[in-house]
């Protein structure tokens, strides 16, 4: 069965209704490295990526080879026919990229956060028909991501796409950048025709985890993958831990299971609607239970007010959390899920009690 896709025509023509694959090194380092990787990925990827200007979080790292690398990329196109992609962060980058036949420009996560920078790039791109991808901002802010997209759209750029690369987090987590899947899902619902690409390299920061994140993205109907690839990943000048060899890229891609975004068989539709009805009923019960729980929290708020007791009782909250994690485990519910669920419930109780206590 073919994938039912509402995507923009330019994208369907580019990807041929298969996931669009963008591969290549985090950074262009030397001409031979750029060309060798390109020959390694040319049968698997439609677009060749290489960072020429590298935004580094801390100074002192490799900041990219600069404009000279654009000439190496032109050589890639001449030898392999792949489309070329690089990151741009200023109007000057855009002008240089355009002058060197770069086909796809992407705006990096550290640039999307800055409306001035995005506007400068959008202005510099006016009148071109380049493909432009906008990565999510480093912080989990959907409006900022959409705002960047709208600035590009207002400049008349028609071939636009999103790249989801995860979000910074102060918490210690297994990924370099937290996926927060709900954010790209919300984006897809709002902009069904705009292609959404996943970047499992920057999400995981770890080549061992790329396969599973790439599969999850396809299961969520993402339209393509951007995977950092290097012939000697451990020796890469940036993002060494997350790059894969061209052989590994091939293995990852061939292990991916492509699923239909819709399946229209009768029996499937019937079964699905029964499951969904049950889910809807359970959701309604959850809401009712939450309402009852909040009413009790309000009563406690009134009691605390009468007795002049502080809203937050840290020991009680710790007890609740420990108990629920233990019970969650017995019921095979993940600890991270239980923790965030009860944090949200507890936050709401505290907010309501605070309101009650401070009410005149």
- Closest approach of Cβ 196 to ligand PEP, in Å? 14
Sign of dihedral through CA atoms 173, 176, 181, 182? positive
Q: What angle do CA 75, 80, 86 make, to 5 degrees?
A: 60
Judged by CB, which is closer to ligand PEP: 45, or 356?
45
Distance CA(194)–CA(221), nearest Å, equals 12
Length in residues, the chain: 360
- Which residues in this chain contact ligand PEP in the complex, by CB under 6 A? 26, 51, 55, 87, 108-110, 135, 165, 202
- Closest approach of Cβ 108 to ligand PEP, in Å? 3
C-beta separation of 203 from 217 below 8 A: no
Interaction between residue 107 and Mn ion (CB under 5 A): no
- Closest approach of Cβ 53 to Mn ion, in Å? 12
The residue with its CB nearest to Mn ion is 26
Distance CA(48)–CA(39), nearest Å, equals 10
Cβ count within 10 A of residue 96: 18
Nearest to 106 by CA among 120, 92, 86, 129: 86
The residue with its CB nearest to ligand PEP is 108
Judged by CB, which is closer to ligand PEP: 93, or 202?
202
Burial 190-215 (b: 16+ CB within 10 A, else e): ebeebbbbbbbbbbbbebebbbebbb
- CB under 5 to 8 A by kind: which of Mn ion, ligand PEP, none does 40 bind? none
C-beta separation of 157 from 128 below 8 A: yes
Write out the H or E segment, with its range, that includes residue 75: helix 68-80
- Closest approach of Cβ 355 to Mn ion, in Å? 45
- CB under 5 to 8 A by kind: which of ligand PEP, Mn ion, none does 12 bind? none
HSE-up of residue 136 (Cα within 13 Å, Cβ side): 30
- Residues in 216-275 that interact with Mn ion by CB under 5 A: 239
What's the DSSP call for residue 241? Answer: G
What are the respective helix, strand and coil percentages of the chain, to the nearest 5?
55, 10, 35
- Closest approach of Cβ 237 to ligand PEP, in Å? 12
Judged by CB, which is closer to Mn ion: 177, or 353?
177
- CB under 5 to 8 A by kind: which of Mn ion, ligand PEP, none does 24 bind? none
- Closest approach of Cβ 90 to Mn ion, in Å? 18
Write out the H or E segment, with its range, that includes residue 48: strand 47-49
- Closest approach of Cβ 228 to Mn ion, in Å? 6
- CB under 5 to 8 A by kind: which of ligand PEP, Mn ion, none does 165 bind? ligand PEP
- Closest approach of Cβ 217 to ligand PEP, in Å? 15
What's the DSSP call for residue 160? Answer: E
Judged by CB, which is closer to Mn ion: 102, or 311?
102
Judged by CB, which is closer to Mn ion: 217, or 227?
227
Judged by CB, which is closer to ligand PEP: 25, or 301?
25
Instruction: Name which position in 22, 26, 89, 121 contacts Mn ion (CB under 5 A).
Output: 26
- Closest approach of Cβ 238 to Mn ion, in Å? 6
Judged by CB, which is closer to ligand PEP: 56, or 316?
56
- Which of these ranges, 23-31, 32-40, 168-176, 246-254, lies near Mn ion under the rule CB under 5 A? 23-31
Judged by CB, which is closer to Mn ion: 50, or 311?
50
Judged by CB, which is closer to Mn ion: 155, or 243?
243
Distance CA(81)–CA(72), nearest Å, equals 13
Beta-carbon contacts of residue 25 (< 8 Å; ≥ 6 apart): 33, 34, 37, 49, 50, 51, 228, 229, 230, 236, 243
HSE-up of residue 357 (Cα within 13 Å, Cβ side): 18
- Which of these ranges, 19-27, 211-219, 262-270, 324-332, lies near Mn ion under the rule CB under 5 A? 19-27
Which residues contact Mn ion by CB under 5 A? 26, 239
């Amino acid at each position: 069965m073919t994938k039912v896709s509402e995507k923009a025509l330019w994208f369907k023509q580019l990807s041929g209704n298969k996931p669009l694959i963008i591969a290549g090194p985090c950074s262009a380092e030397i001409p031979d490295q750029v060309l060798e990787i390109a020959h390694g990925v040319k049968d698997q990827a439609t677009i060749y990526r290489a960072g020429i200007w590298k935004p580094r979080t801390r100074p002192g790292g490799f900041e990219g080879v600069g404009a000279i690398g654009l000439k190496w990329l032109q050589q890639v196109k001449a030898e392999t026919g792949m489309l070329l992609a690089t990151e741009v962060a200023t109007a000057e980058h855009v002008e240089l990229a355009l002058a060197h036949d770069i086909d796809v420009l992407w705006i990096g996560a550290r640039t999307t956060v800055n409306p001035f920078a995005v506007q400068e790039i959008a202005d510099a791109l006016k009148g071109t028909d380049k493909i432009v991808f906008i990565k999510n901002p480093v912080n989990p802010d959907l409006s900022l991501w959409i705002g960047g997209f709208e600035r590009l759209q207002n400049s008349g750029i028609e071939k636009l796409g999103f790249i989801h690369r995860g979000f910074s987090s102060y918490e210690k987590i297994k990924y370099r950048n937290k996926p927060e899947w709900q954010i790209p899902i919300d984006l897809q619902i709002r902009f069904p025709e705009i292609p959404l690409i996943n970047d499992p390299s920057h999400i995981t920061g770890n080549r061992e985890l790329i396969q599973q994140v790439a599969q999850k993205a396809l299961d969520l109907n993402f339209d393509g993958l951007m995977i950092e690839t290097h012939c000697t990943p451990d020796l890469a000048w940036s993002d060494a831990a997350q790059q894969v060899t061209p052989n590994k890229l091939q293995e990852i891609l061939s292990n991916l299971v492509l699923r239909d975004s819709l399946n229209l068989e009768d029996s499937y539709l019937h079964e699905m609607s029964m499951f969904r009805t049950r889910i809807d009923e359970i959701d309604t019960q959850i809401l009712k239970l939450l309402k009852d729980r909040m009413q009790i929290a309000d009563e406690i708020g009134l009691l605390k007010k009468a007795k002049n007791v502080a809203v937050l009782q840290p020991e009680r909250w710790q007890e609740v959390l420990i108990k629920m994690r233990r019970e969650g485990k017995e019921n095979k519910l993940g600890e991270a899920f239980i923790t965030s669920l009860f944090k949200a419930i507890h936050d709401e109780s505290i907010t309501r009690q605070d309101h009650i206590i401070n009410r005149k």
